[in-house]
């Protein structure tokens, strides 16, 4: 979850760097039992931030404030027994907006960040450009992107690799490539947002090319055996919408095709989210509403004999709910449970913000013994 709490002034050496706030925020999850703590999205380029206040990892060298801020979060989390994942991202056409609470105070779902507040309206980018490719054309919400050149796409690919290399040096345990929620890589994947006619647009193979190149570049600069996750939107939720009839959309069938190539790209886990790519999406929210999508992908992966793991996410809030997702509905027959399980891990965001001690509370509900911090023993 982006906290929109980093320095925004590009003239400051601390721009995009994690702060004491992030140590307190992320550290509480490590302290209270989370096995893997995700650092919020780290923009791989300055214009890849969602807002000027986003975190980033584009400054070169291990003496940069961005590197040192990440390293401090990693070191504290490790001291509490947690592993750390960093999510590498580029916002694409959804960039240069104000923090959500600023927009909310103005009664808007989103507001553009002007140059006066360190936004970059002239450098918002996407696979396709022009007014017709604004994420949401309602007045004042988002900027019109410009189309990336082929050379710039190559620069984006290398930016992901450079950020991954820095993350490894900072001690991070897992790299996640963010290709979901309508951000840049997701924009390339979906024909609803990718109108290119070169080698990065058109066919499925061309639209997934950038993800293939990013994954390959990242894998090439990190240690062998280090886990790499890929976060995807399993569907655009555009079925039945005019845009899908006109240009097509990214749907579950597209994701099924994508997971087939993940082993050759060195992707160890697919983190299955959905939506975020188009203003006309129609999502029916309900507890675990994305878990069935994860289950379909996991079933196909297992049927193919592949070892790619699957992460389930989306309104997972309760202990028994999480247990059923990873163990299957029928625990009495273990073989069947493996088949009916819908994910190999569960991923939580908002619920941890509501309930930082979710792991401890869940362990109590399920009768699982966990180790508490020594400092907390007097409260048990």
CATH number at residue 185: 3.20.20.70
Q: Would you say residue 138 lies in a domain?
A: yes
Give the pLDDT confidence score for residue 139 in this predicted structure. 81
DSSP sequence for 211-249: HHHHHHHHHHHS-TT--EEEEEES--S-TTSHHHHHH--
Give the pLDDT confidence score for residue 366 in this predicted structure. 96
The DSSP code for 373 is P
Q: Is 126 exposed, middle or buried (0-12, 13-18, 19+ CB in 10 A)?
A: buried
Q: Tell me the CA distances in angstroms from 259 to 52, 204, 268, 339, one per residue in order.
A: 33, 13, 11, 18
Containing structural domain, residue 326: 20-376
Q: Would you say residue 129 lies in a domain?
A: yes
Q: Would you say residue 40 lies in a domain?
A: yes
Both tokens of 194, joined, read: 């990718």
Q: Rounded CA gap, 194 and 180, in Å?
A: 14
Q: What is the pTM of this model?
A: 0.95
Give the pLDDT confidence score for residue 236 in this predicted structure. 96
C-alpha of 268 from chain center: 15
Q: Would you say residue 274 lies in a domain?
A: yes
Q: Would you say residue 235 lies in a domain?
A: yes
Q: Tell me the CA distances in angstroms from 121 to 99, 308, 380, one per residue in order.
A: 15, 39, 53
Q: Would you say residue 362 lies in a domain?
A: yes
| Under 8 Å between Cβ of 34 and 99 | no
Give the pLDDT confidence score for residue 148 in this predicted structure. 98
Both tokens of 306, joined, read: 């592949």
* Per-position pLDDT tens, the chain of length 380: 999 999 999 999 999 999 999 999 999 999 999 999 999 999 999 999 999 999 999 999 999 999 999 999 999 999 999 999 999 999 999 999 999 999 999 999 999 999 999 999 999 999 999 999 999 988 889 999 999 999 999 999 999 999 999 999 999 999 999 999 999 999 999 999 999 999 999 999 999 999 999 999 999 999 999 999 999 999 999 999 999 999 999 999 999 999 999 999 999 999 999 999 999 999 988 888 899 999 999 999 999 999 999 999 999 999 999 999 999 865 555 555 556 899 999 999 999 999 999 999 999 999 999 988 889 889 88
Q: Would you say residue 37 lies in a domain?
A: yes
Task: Domain count for the chain, please give it.
Answer: 1
Candidates 4, 183, 200, 289; catalytic one? 183
Q: Does the annotation mark 183 as catalytic?
A: yes
Q: Rounded CA gap, 167 and 182, in Å?
A: 24
Q: Rounded CA gap, 291 and 273, in Å?
A: 9
Q: Would you say residue 12 lies in a domain?
A: no
């Amino acid at each position: 979850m982006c906290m929109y709490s980093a320095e925004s002034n590009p003239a400051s050496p601390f721009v995009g760097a994690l702060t004491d706030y992030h140590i307190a925020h992320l550290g509480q999850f490590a302290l209270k039992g989370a096995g893997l703590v995700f650092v919020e999205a780290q923009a791989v380029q300055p214009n890849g931030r969602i807002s000027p206040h986003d975190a980033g990892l584009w400054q070169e060298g291990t003496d940069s404030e961005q590197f040192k801020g990440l390293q401090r979060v990693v070191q504290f989390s490790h001291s509490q027994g947690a592993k750390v994942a960093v999510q590498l991202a580029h916002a694409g056409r959804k960039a240069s907006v104000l923090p959500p609470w600023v927009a909310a105070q103005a009664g808007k779902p989103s507001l553009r960040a002007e140059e006066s507040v360190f936004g970059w309206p002239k450098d918002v980018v996407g696979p396709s450009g022009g007014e017709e490719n604004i994420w949401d054309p309602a007045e004042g919400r988002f900027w019109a992107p410009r189309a990336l050149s082929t050379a710039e796409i190559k620069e984006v690919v290398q930016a992901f690799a450079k950020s991954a290399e820095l993350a490894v040096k900072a001690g991070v345990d897992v790299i996640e490539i963010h290709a979901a929620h309508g951000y840049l890589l997701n924009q390339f994947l979906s024909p609803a947002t990718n109108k290119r006619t070169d080698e990065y647009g058109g066919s499925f193979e061309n639209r997934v090319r950038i993800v293939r190149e990013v994954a390959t570049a990242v894998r090439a600069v990190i240690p062998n055996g280090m886990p790499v996750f890929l976060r995807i939107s399993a569907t655009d939720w555009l079925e039945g919408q005019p845009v899908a009839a006109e240009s097509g959309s990214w749907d579950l069938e597209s994701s099924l095709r994508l997971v087939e190539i993940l082993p050759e790209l060195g992707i160890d886990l697919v983190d299955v989210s959905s939506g975020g790519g188009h203003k006309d999406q129609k999502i029916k929210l309900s507890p675990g509403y994305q878990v069935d999508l994860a289950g379909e992908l996991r079933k196909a992966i297992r049927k193919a004999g592949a070892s790619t793991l699957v992460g389930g996410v989306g309104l997972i809030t309760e202990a028994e709910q999480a247990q059923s997702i990873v163990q299957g509905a029928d625990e009495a027959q273990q073989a069947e449970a493996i088949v009916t399980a819908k994910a190999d891990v569960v991923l939580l965001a908002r619920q941890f913000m509501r309930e930082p001690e979710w792991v401890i509370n869940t362990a109590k509900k399920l009768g699982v013994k966990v180790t508490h911090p020594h400092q907390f023993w007097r409260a048990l």
